[in-house]
Amino acid sequence: MFMRIDHVGIACHDLEEKIALFEQTFELTVVAREVNEEQGVKEAMLHIADGNGGGSYIQLLEPLGPDTPVGKFLAKRGEGVHHVAFGVPDVAEAMREIGGKGVRLLDEKPRHGTMGSSIAFLHPKDVGGMLTELVQAPKH
Ligand code: V0V
Ligand code: CO
């Protein structure tokens, strides 16, 4: 079902500061920046490698406000790993398959993700404490 790890999302207070840190420390390059109002984030994608059906990235996430998923996470847990995203061939199909196993879906339908992707989240409490994102890369 999973083709690759698409990205690891890192919650941070200051996006520009963490971009500089990751660029300098790991020699990664920012390939996209986006504000996603629906998800309540300002985010940047740092490219790592190209894999099966798409790339793999680090996603740096700064909240648009305190009452957002990342804003609440920062208040509760501080900066650090927020979610792991897996590349799937078809996000709607993956949602049906995984939802059918009793895992709670946090989205009723796929949503707009970074770089034209379609995304959906799974409840962390049903996946060993890991907020899990499903990602379908855009078709070219
Ligand atoms: C909350 N919990 C987490 C967690 N966030 N556990 C692991 N990883 C996380 N990131 C735990 C939390 O400690 C609670 O456990 C429990 O889940 C319920 O959390 P809560 O604080 O009561 O509830 P909320 O209101 O903070 O909601 C948590 C969820 C919410 C996960 C439901 O954050 C959500 O819907 N997230 C999906 C959307 C999202 O995260 N978007 C931002 C990334 P205890 O304390 O009760 O034990 S956007 C993105 O990745 C994009 C655009 C992209 O990739 O393209
Ligand atoms: Co993400």
Average of per-residue pLDDT values in the chain: 97
pLDDT band at 123 (very low <50, low <70, confident <90, very high): very high
CA distances from 44 to 22, 89, 92, 103, 106 (A): 11, 23, 25, 29, 23
pLDDT band at 53 (very low <50, low <70, confident <90, very high): confident
Ligand nearest to the CA of 42: 1
Position 140 pLDDT exceeds 90: no
Ligand nearest to the CA of 119: 1
Please name the residue that has the structure tokens 């998923």: 69
pLDDT band at 33 (very low <50, low <70, confident <90, very high): very high
Contact 28, 48 (CB under 8 A): yes
Q: What is the dihedral of CA 110, 113, 118, 123, to 10 degrees?
A: -50
136 lines ligand 1 (CB under 6 A): no
131 lines ligand 1 (CB under 6 A): yes
Position 22 pLDDT exceeds 90: yes
pLDDT band at 124 (very low <50, low <70, confident <90, very high): very high
ipTM of the complex: 0.98
Contact 51, 86 (CB under 8 A): no
Count: domains in the chain? 1
CATH number of residue 9's parent domain: 3.10.180.10
Contact 42, 17 (CB under 8 A): no
Taking CA atoms only, the protein residue closest to ligand 1 atom 41 is 39
Helix ranges (H only) for the chain are 15-26, 69-77, 91-99
pLDDT band at 54 (very low <50, low <70, confident <90, very high): very high
Contact 75, 66 (CB under 8 A): yes
Residue-range definition of the domain harbouring residue 33: 4-136
